[in-house]
């Protein structure tokens, strides 16, 4: 998923992928964070950390990619 999203991000932007909301691997903020959530959900956090409240949540990886392709709006 990250490989398909990274080229869609405007430069320079950081993309962090976290398996859960604890953010153990990277505690600092990123421009975009994809967070694995219960039930197979994918949370999207803008300008924040994995533990922050996602601005968007989806169970469909293709919908997440489409959101990035549409300019994250």
Compute the average pLDDT of residues 46-67: 94
Cα torsion angle, 51, 57, 62, 67, sign = negative
pTM of the model: 0.87
Residue 13 clears pLDDT 90, i.e. is over it: no
Compute the average pLDDT of residues 45-61: 94
The answer to whether the CB of 15 falls within 8 A of the CB of 5 is: yes
Residue 65 pLDDT level (bands cut at 50, 70, 90): very high
């Amino acid at each position: 998923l990250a490989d398909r999203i990274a080229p869609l991000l405007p430069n320079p932007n950081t993309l962090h992928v976290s398996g859960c909301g604890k953010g153990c691997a990277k505690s600092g903020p990123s421009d975009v964070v994809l967070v694995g959530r219960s039930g197979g959900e994918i949370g999207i956090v803008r300008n924040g950390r994995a533990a922050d409240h996602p601005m968007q949540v989806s169970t469909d990886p293709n919908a997440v990619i489409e959101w990035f392709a549409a300019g994250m709006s």
